[in-house]
Amino acid sequence: MISLYDILESSNGQLFGEPAAHLFTSFCFDPRHAGESQLFVALKTERGDTHQFMREAVDHGVTGILCTHPPDFDTEELSVILVRDTEAALMNWTRYMLHKVGTQVVCVAGTAGKSLAVESISRVLSSQYSVLRSTDNDLPGRLALPATLASLTPEHQFVVLELNVTRPGMMSEIVQVVQPDVVVLPSLGSSISDGFANIEEVVAENRLLLDRLSPTSLAVLNADDESSRALMGATRARALTFGVESFGADVIAYNVLNSVDKTGFDLRYGAERHVGRWIPWLGKHQIGAALAGLCVGLHYDISLDDGLRTLIDLPYMPGRMNPLNGLQNSLIIDDTHSGTPQSMLAALDWLLTIKAQQVTDVPQRIVFVMGDMDHLGGQVGQAHRTIGQHAAEVVDVLVTEGTEAALAGRAALDSGIHPRQVTMTYSIQDAVQAIRERYALSEHDIVLVTGGKTARMELIVSALLKDERDQIQLTRQDALSETAVLAQPSQLNWVSLDLDALATNVRGMKILIGDSVTLMAVVKADAYGHGAVAVARTALLNGAEYLAVSSVTEALELREAGLDAPILVLNYTPLSAIRQAIRQRLTITIYDLDMARTFDRAARELGERLSVHVKIDTGMGRLGVMPKDAMNLFRHILNLKSLDVEGVFTHFASADEDAEYTAFQLKTFKDLLKPLRASGFTFRYTHAANSAATLISKESHFNMVRVGLAMYGLVPSPTIPLPSEFKPVLSWKTVVAQVKTLPPNHPVGYGRTYYTQAEERIAILPVGFADGFRRAPNTWREVLVHGQRAAVVGRVSMEKTAINVTAIPGVSVGDEVILLGHQGSEHITAEAIAKQLGTSNYEVVTSILPRIPRH
């Protein structure tokens, strides 16, 4: 329990009003997970301010608030503690409680294996002592310390703390609060988070913890880990080392035997030998964490026999090589808690040993499902490619989910795995669909699912479970995740893509047109600014069969990403690009006899045939052969044997607004098709309908439609709504960079085009016309902050914009701002912005510069 008076005394805090509660069960950092009798801690960091959520936390039942300024609502039934800095207050309370209770402190640090080591150490010590262990709640930085100690009582003889250090300097802050009696470094690894420049910085950070140990303390180090070995002489404390088949360590596991439900080994410590022991954790890489627990037990007079007996009862850890019963009695290995290059390579090594033990006459597949890994900094590309290369040597099926994970898929293909064995997806539901339908699981399959925390790969595990009651075993069930304001990307502004919405839109469009009509997904202009590769893959996985781009260059990007679906180049193709188009099996638009002859000659010289679609100009006035010249063009094309005339098409000029003219164009197109067919011409594909025509004119569908706008959840026109289940895919977001109060009649921005009418609170956003946020002749009129509309004021600068937040209380630096999308119940749509700017919704989304990160 947390005492109000311990908080006040340790933090030099002050009560605001009369206290209502004197004891609290735990700290709450996220109002979405708030509960009764909790103390809500309002944090103000460089990435956001959660004081704005105090009201929400109270509505969810908290009985106390720790904050820097009083709430602006009634606090009669609350205990409100005011401090200068809430995080500093928590650290002071942590130091105070550890000193007050006087418990022994075991700190587990490093880069990998920490949670497993915490579990092992806690289990071994609990055989003889009262132990409090770290709560597995994924809290950022130092916040996990007070979260754990909220349950500390005088009866606890040990507290085992997991230290998650994400940047240089953080360990220095921690050791000012925590005086360890034992330091355990399960692994320092070779992969580093993007908070560190190199492994040397990681080692130096952990050395600070060892420096705090006294001669009577204990350091437990991994002899298998090169970086850990380098620290063996860096402490004055007693040092015990552990290793797996690494002779020279103090505690050694050897003769390791892997199986699908446990891991066996023999153990040696000095003259002691323990043969045929096992733990219910999977993989050689998990043994080290168990050995760390034995080392700590030895220091506190717990024999290896007693410790090993305790380890037999270790539970499977959620999201850490946890075996679960999957669909069709397949075996799901859930390794989704926090996938890193180190853990993924170890998991693949485990799969390789299991594969080697297979009975040859029983069909069994190894399925590896991976999502993006987090916080790899400059190593992100190489790290994912390395996993893909290794996977190609081990697995029978590889399914990737996410942009970075697709690099692994591509690397696997480059390493020789058959394309049918690889599916690259960009949404959870597409990954699940691929596993369940394309690779239909059987009882002999082993499916290992892994990925970084933000990939949320546990959602895939959930969808593959045979018994949904097993969902309680998944990671992040009760986790206190960061609030949205503290979990934003580090960029100044960014685009969020909902590829699940895209998948839903594509499936909805396919249902609308029916199985007899081919869906061509238009992904030109980088998929209307959405990201061509991710959009194309998602569309193809959900019913699209053909892709359309503007240029050969755009098509090559898709080919280089491993997409082998047919691609139509809608625009002009220069002769210099035609050989590449032929080699990459692209379909080219033609509309001119000289062009057709030139392309035929190029194909003939390469000994190939070039697929083409002939475009008819039925009234658009752009590319295309005029109807009166079309028959002559087709007669001559008959003699061009290296051209495969796969299709014929036209383009509507105003299907979104002028039904009469669209009908005229459609009739013109049909009137041309009749004599062509009568002359013996046949076409695999005939197409005319864009999104608008697809939605309102079944007559224009023929046997193919070209869908762009609707696929992205963009409305073709005010008179042609989308089906209700269609949703916008793209949102554009930024953050508040500064908030200031300006006096009346104060100018804002270049040219002093805006003056404050009264005292006004102005927020500055780090986004401008260099990002695609238009300056002139018209600009965005408003954005969303805290779910409310805030007017844009003054001139938009190259990289800054001002908004008026006078009527929106609690706006702070780091708060999320919606430029395009929804927040709360409010929406800013591309259609509304287009109306303000005097343009179209597709110009709005394609004007967001490609350099803006897409997530």
Omega before 777 within 30 of 0, i.e. cis: yes
Cβ–Cβ < 8 Å for 470, 30:
no
The angle that helices 532-541 and 499-513 make with each other, rounded to 10 degrees, is: 50
Which pair of tokens denotes residue 29? 């950092």
Neighbouring residues of 74: CB distance < 8 A, sequence distance ≥ 6 = none
| SS3 state of residue 65 | strand
What does the chain come to in residues?
855
Q: What's the CA gap between 251 and 254, in Å, rounded?
A: 10
Phi/psi of residue 646, nearest 5 degrees: -80, -30
Angle among Cα 105, 106, 109 to the nearest 5 degrees reads 130
Residue type, 820: L
- Number of H helices and E strands in the chain, helices first, is 26, 43
| SS3 state of residue 19 | coil
**Maximum Cα–Cα distance for the chain, whole Å?**
97
Residue type, 547: L
- The helix or strand, by DSSP H or E, that contains position 398, with its residue range, turns out to be strand 397-401
Residue type, 689: A
Long-range contacts of 489-492 (CB under 8 A, 24+ apart): 489/853, 489/855, 491/852, 491/853, 492/734, 492/735, 492/737, 492/766, 492/767, 492/799
Other beta carbons less than 10 A from residue 759's beta carbon: 11
Q: What's the CA gap between 590 and 574, in Å, rounded?
A: 11
Neighbouring residues of 469: CB distance < 8 A, sequence distance ≥ 6 = none
Instruction: Select which of 100, 667, 740, 750 is catalytic.
Output: 750
- Residue from 703, 762, 772 nearest 732 by CA: 772
Q: What's the CA gap between 257 and 269, in Å, rounded?
A: 19
Instruction: Select which of 510, 524, 615, 733 is catalytic.
Output: 524
Which value, in Å, is the radius of gyration of the alpha carbons in the chain? 31
Q: What's the CA gap between 835 and 780, in Å, rounded?
A: 10
Q: What's the CA gap between 604 and 643, in Å, rounded?
A: 9
Which pair of tokens denotes residue 228? 């850990």
| SS3 state of residue 199 | helix
Which pair of tokens denotes residue 586? 């692209």
Active site annotation includes 300: no
Q: What's the CA gap between 373 and 344, in Å, rounded?
A: 10
Cβ–Cβ < 8 Å for 550, 524:
yes
- Residue from 479, 474, 443 nearest 461 by CA: 474
Cβ–Cβ < 8 Å for 363, 451:
no
Give, as one character, the DSSP assignment of residue 471.
G
- The helix or strand, by DSSP H or E, that contains position 282, with its residue range, turns out to be none
Neighbouring residues of 628: CB distance < 8 A, sequence distance ≥ 6 = none
Active site annotation includes 733: no
Tell me the catalytic residues: 524, 750
